[in-house]
A and B are shown apart, each in its own frame.
Chain A
């Protein structure tokens, strides 16, 4: 008899959400739908983090991914495509090869994961409080992350500048392009 605890039930529910919507994301022929499916996947992932007690991580997942990236993607979709567009179906050969590669990869990875004997830690639960995370991010002691923190902040700045430079409309450039 299969008995499910509450946690298990929630976990399996979100697992199913993630797996199903992942597959839907990459198979849907309507791009806006795909984006929406992706949003569900990301939310499912956030739910995982909450389930694992990483509340801060979950919050970041929702704000950055679901709130930021997906919105960005939807924006760009609206800029570049028509809503009603459907993708052309994929050629059979390409489909089969991609499917084979993906299935083989998944099978191979699962085989390795299931064969490996992970020994769960007995220390107890991690302390993922926001206070601790904040201290660790700005600490330069052992287990401190101030250096990657600063590097990432620089990277973000560079990304902002880069994105602006790339996407900016340049009249001179456009003339050149028209001349080509």
Chain B
């Protein structure tokens, strides 16, 4: 049963790398660091692939169901007679799939960073943090219980914080890292509440027993409700808030666009492919609970996902910062995955949405990482983030151009590429049960095609701007990951994903749904065509359109002023009416009390220090008199009794 005892090595190898590098980061030459980090993550990657091969191919489904296997575990914290926290590795469909995603993208990003960060002073620090992140993320995906997930959830948050603020001399990077940390931490508070609530009522943290539908009858889930919600619904919504914070769901998405202050490989690894989908993964992990215990919570997940998807896609059409467009695209695509989970049912055919969501997670990781790495290559070449200052780059950066085009086509849902297949499954799943979500997603598909091609045309076609240095393709270290990821972006769509990952463990046979596929492809083509028409060459039409849609454009351009709303709430309401009075109370009442006590002590000492005169005979006087008085009292007392 336990052929997976080695799995704990997968996260621990990068941890080793982190420790080695962080304690020697002034001593190690860059080459050694790069070789060490890359080979260690390479080992993790090989082990992950081996695990996947072992799990999916060699072992295969047992009696038609993929088993959930505990690779190894130990008791870490005993909280009560029944409740204890374990640490260990859980091998099942979703975690093995995530292992592949995380280790692949991480390996690509490691290789890419050797070229990208080559001239950076913080080279070693960067690789140390990458290793730390890989350790945390890999541990997160194979966590056996919700508490372990929570621990590594915070650790990936820390790595994300460290890497967003990597250029700590830049005030905007520092602000962005703080923002990311505070927003996600705020959401994690709800996550913790959710964990406590659900484990209190089910007496377990472990996913295997927590998500087994056969156990649901035994859980004690009756009790008082809050806002008319049942206990599981409340707990799962709280957990979803945690996931929404990490996955940048509306209205907690504000940190992700700012997180683009980090180096581009970081954006690719953390803020596109792996960490931000942790929220999706979390919901997928507890999917049985959502689908069976609290369908209303799952519906909320779906609607929030669909809305976020649309919302972010609209904003993405107006942004001019290269990486911010991609950031909003990421938000939009994660909304897609959430929506797919939301419309899914549990088991068999109804679980199509779940499988589609995981599928999209997988393909999205590949092409979005590719997009970010391509963006990094472009930014590296032209030294600006603004797409207004780019244009006509296809002539100078041939390989980058082609790989970027592949990724763009994949995300736009061009037939034959990976994004097409996964999107098709998602839209089909939505079509079955949630028409509102279905139409939203369809619109988003069109918008996605539009804004991605707008980006593509503006950068690689359009009018050529004057460049100080002639831009050129990056070096091999950066090109190889681009090419590998481009290949993966094409072929990953052909994996029969349902055979491997499904909501209930039974392989799900899927096929292309031509009716839906045709509609969504048409919508994508419309988007691409509009982008072609507007942005292939610079034209006045865009400014006319912007003028016509002035107000709406301004709102979208300013991200619908969500940041300003947050600022207003925090500064004008929370700070002014809660924090300031508390600070006043602290400064004047609490500190004042302490000061008065100190003042009393000092003054009293001043007054009585004369008694401590150093004159021995004064002491003797006091001593003898006191002895006489005390013994007189004692004797008097003894005589009278």
For the complex formed, measure the closest distance between the CB of B630 and the CB atoms of chain A, giving whole angstroms: 12
**Which chain A residues (89-138) contact chain B, with CB distance < 8 Å?**
97-98, 101, 104-105, 108, 112
Residues in B with CB closer than 8 Å to A97 are: 621
For the complex formed, measure the closest distance between the CB of A107 and the CB atoms of chain B, giving whole angstroms: 10
Residues in B with CB closer than 8 Å to A112 are: 635
For the complex formed, measure the closest distance between the CB of A10 and the CB atoms of chain B, giving whole angstroms: 33
Residues in A with CB closer than 8 Å to B631 are: 108
Q: Does B632 contact A (CB under 8 A)?
A: yes
Residues in B with CB closer than 8 Å to A108 are: 628, 631-632, 635
From the candidates B621, B628, B635, name the one contacting A104 in the complex (CB within 8 A). Answer: B628
Q: What is the bound-complex CA distance between A108 and B632, given in angstroms?
A: 8
The answer to whether A101 and B635 touch across the interface, beta carbons within 8 angstroms, is no
The answer to whether B632 and A101 touch across the interface, beta carbons within 8 angstroms, is no
Residues in A with CB closer than 8 Å to B632 are: 108
Residues in B with CB closer than 8 Å to A98 are: 621
Return the CB mask of B621-639 against A: 1 if under 8 Å, else 0. 1001100100110010000
Interface of B is mostly: helix
**Which chain B residues (473-515) contact chain A, with CB distance < 8 Å?**
none
Q: What is the bound-complex CA distance between A104 and B632, given in angstroms?
A: 10
For the complex formed, measure the closest distance between the CB of A112 and the CB atoms of chain B, giving whole angstroms: 6
In the complex formed, the residue of A with least CB distance to B625 is A101
The answer to whether A105 and B628 touch across the interface, beta carbons within 8 angstroms, is yes
In the complex formed, the residue of B with least CB distance to A105 is B628
For the complex formed, measure the closest distance between the CB of A138 and the CB atoms of chain B, giving whole angstroms: 37
Q: What is the bound-complex CA distance between A98 and B632, given in angstroms?
A: 18
Q: How many residues of A contact B (CB 8 A)?
A: 7
Q: What is the bound-complex CA distance between A123 and B396, given in angstroms?
A: 125
Q: What is the bound-complex CA distance between A24 and B430, given in angstroms?
A: 116
Residues in B with CB closer than 8 Å to A105 are: 624, 628
Return the CB mask of A153-167 against B: 1 if under 8 Å, else 0. 000000000000000
Residues in A with CB closer than 8 Å to B625 are: 101
Q: What is the bound-complex CA distance between A117 and B223, given in angstroms?
A: 81
In the complex formed, the residue of A with least CB distance to B617 is A94
Q: What is the bound-complex CA distance between A139 and B635, given in angstroms?
A: 38
**Which chain B residues (593-641) contact chain A, with CB distance < 8 Å?**
621, 624-625, 628, 631-632, 635
Residues in A with CB closer than 8 Å to B624 are: 101, 105
In the complex formed, the residue of A with least CB distance to B639 is A115
Residues in B with CB closer than 8 Å to A101 are: 621, 624-625, 628
Q: What is the bound-complex CA distance between A97 and B625, given in angstroms?
A: 10
Q: What is the bound-complex CA distance between A97 and B635, given in angstroms?
A: 23
Q: What is the bound-complex CA distance between A108 and B635, given in angstroms?
A: 10
Q: What is the bound-complex CA distance between A98 and B622, given in angstroms?
A: 11
**Which chain A residues (143-178) contact chain B, with CB distance < 8 Å?**
none
Q: What is the bound-complex CA distance between A53 and B299, given in angstroms?
A: 109
For the complex formed, measure the closest distance between the CB of B613 and the CB atoms of chain A, giving whole angstroms: 14
In the complex formed, the residue of B with least CB distance to A98 is B621
In the complex formed, the residue of A with least CB distance to B627 is A105
Q: What is the bound-complex CA distance between A112 and B635, given in angstroms?
A: 8
In the complex formed, the residue of B with least CB distance to A111 is B635
Q: What is the bound-complex CA distance between A104 and B621, given in angstroms?
A: 13
For the complex formed, measure the closest distance between the CB of B135 and the CB atoms of chain A, giving whole angstroms: 59
In the complex formed, the residue of B with least CB distance to A100 is B625
For the complex formed, measure the closest distance between the CB of A144 and the CB atoms of chain B, giving whole angstroms: 33
Q: What is the bound-complex CA distance between A104 and B628, given in angstroms?
A: 8
For the complex formed, measure the closest distance between the CB of A167 and the CB atoms of chain B, giving whole angstroms: 20
Residues in A with CB closer than 8 Å to B628 are: 101, 104-105, 108
Q: What is the bound-complex CA distance between A98 and B624, given in angstroms?
A: 10
For the complex formed, measure the closest distance between the CB of B343 and the CB atoms of chain A, giving whole angstroms: 88
**Which chain A residues (51-103) contact chain B, with CB distance < 8 Å?**
97-98, 101
Q: What is the bound-complex CA distance between A119 and B628, given in angstroms?
A: 26
Q: What is the bound-complex CA distance between A130 and B628, given in angstroms?
A: 39
Q: What is the bound-complex CA distance between A97 and B628, given in angstroms?
A: 14
Q: What is the bound-complex CA distance between A112 and B625, given in angstroms?
A: 17
Q: What is the bound-complex CA distance between A8 and B628, given in angstroms?
A: 32
Q: What is the bound-complex CA distance between A176 and B635, given in angstroms?
A: 53
Q: What is the bound-complex CA distance between A73 and B632, given in angstroms?
A: 35
In the complex formed, the residue of B with least CB distance to A97 is B621
Residues in B with CB closer than 8 Å to A104 are: 628
For the complex formed, measure the closest distance between the CB of A110 and the CB atoms of chain B, giving whole angstroms: 12
In the complex formed, the residue of B with least CB distance to A102 is B624
Q: What is the bound-complex CA distance between A108 and B628, given in angstroms?
A: 9
Q: What is the bound-complex CA distance between A108 and B633, given in angstroms?
A: 11
In the complex formed, the residue of B with least CB distance to A115 is B639
Residues in A with CB closer than 8 Å to B635 are: 108, 112
For the complex formed, measure the closest distance between the CB of B636 and the CB atoms of chain A, giving whole angstroms: 10
Q: What is the bound-complex CA distance between A97 and B624, given in angstroms?
A: 12
For the complex formed, measure the closest distance between the CB of B609 and the CB atoms of chain A, giving whole angstroms: 22
In the complex formed, the residue of A with least CB distance to B632 is A108
For the complex formed, measure the closest distance between the CB of B619 and the CB atoms of chain A, giving whole angstroms: 14
For the complex formed, measure the closest distance between the CB of B174 and the CB atoms of chain A, giving whole angstroms: 53
Q: What is the bound-complex CA distance between A105 and B632, given in angstroms?
A: 9
Q: What is the bound-complex CA distance between A108 and B639, given in angstroms?
A: 13
In the complex formed, the residue of B with least CB distance to A108 is B632
For the complex formed, measure the closest distance between the CB of B618 and the CB atoms of chain A, giving whole angstroms: 10
Q: What is the bound-complex CA distance between A97 and B618, given in angstroms?
A: 11
For the complex formed, measure the closest distance between the CB of A99 and the CB atoms of chain B, giving whole angstroms: 12
For the complex formed, measure the closest distance between the CB of A155 and the CB atoms of chain B, giving whole angstroms: 24
In the complex formed, the residue of A with least CB distance to B635 is A112
Q: What is the bound-complex CA distance between A98 and B621, given in angstroms?
A: 8
For the complex formed, measure the closest distance between the CB of B205 and the CB atoms of chain A, giving whole angstroms: 63
Return the CB mask of B319-337 against A: 1 if under 8 Å, else 0. 0000000000000000000
Q: What is the bound-complex CA distance between A98 and B625, given in angstroms?
A: 10
For the complex formed, measure the closest distance between the CB of A87 and the CB atoms of chain B, giving whole angstroms: 14
Q: What is the bound-complex CA distance between A105 and B621, given in angstroms?
A: 12
For the complex formed, measure the closest distance between the CB of A92 and the CB atoms of chain B, giving whole angstroms: 16
Residues in A with CB closer than 8 Å to B621 are: 97-98, 101
Q: What is the bound-complex CA distance between A21 and B54, given in angstroms?
A: 108
**Which chain B residues (81-97) contact chain A, with CB distance < 8 Å?**
none
Q: What is the bound-complex CA distance between A72 and B613, given in angstroms?
A: 30
Q: What is the bound-complex CA distance between A101 and B624, given in angstroms?
A: 8
Q: What is the bound-complex CA distance between A105 and B624, given in angstroms?
A: 9
Q: What is the bound-complex CA distance between A75 and B632, given in angstroms?
A: 40
Return the CB mask of B411-444 against A: 1 if under 8 Å, else 0. 0000000000000000000000000000000000
Q: What is the bound-complex CA distance between A105 and B635, given in angstroms?
A: 13
In the complex formed, the residue of A with least CB distance to B628 is A105
Q: What is the bound-complex CA distance between A50 and B88, given in angstroms?
A: 89
For the complex formed, measure the closest distance between the CB of B615 and the CB atoms of chain A, giving whole angstroms: 11
In the complex formed, the residue of B with least CB distance to A104 is B628
**Which chain B residues (279-295) contact chain A, with CB distance < 8 Å?**
none
Q: What is the bound-complex CA distance between A52 and B624, given in angstroms?
A: 31
Q: What is the bound-complex CA distance between A97 and B622, given in angstroms?
A: 12
Question: Told that A98-B621, A108-B628 touch, could you supply 4 new A-B pairs with CB distance under 8 A?
Answer: A101-B624, A101-B628, A105-B624, A108-B632
Complex A-B: 14 CB contacts under 8 Å: A97-B621, A98-B621, A101-B621, A101-B624, A101-B625, A101-B628, A104-B628, A105-B624, A105-B628, A108-B628, A108-B631, A108-B632, A108-B635, A112-B635
Seen from chain A, the residues whose Cβ lies within 8 Å of a Cβ on chain B are: 97-98, 101, 104-105, 108, 112
6 A-B pairs closest in CB distance:
A105-B628, A101-B624, A112-B635, A101-B625, A108-B632, A104-B628
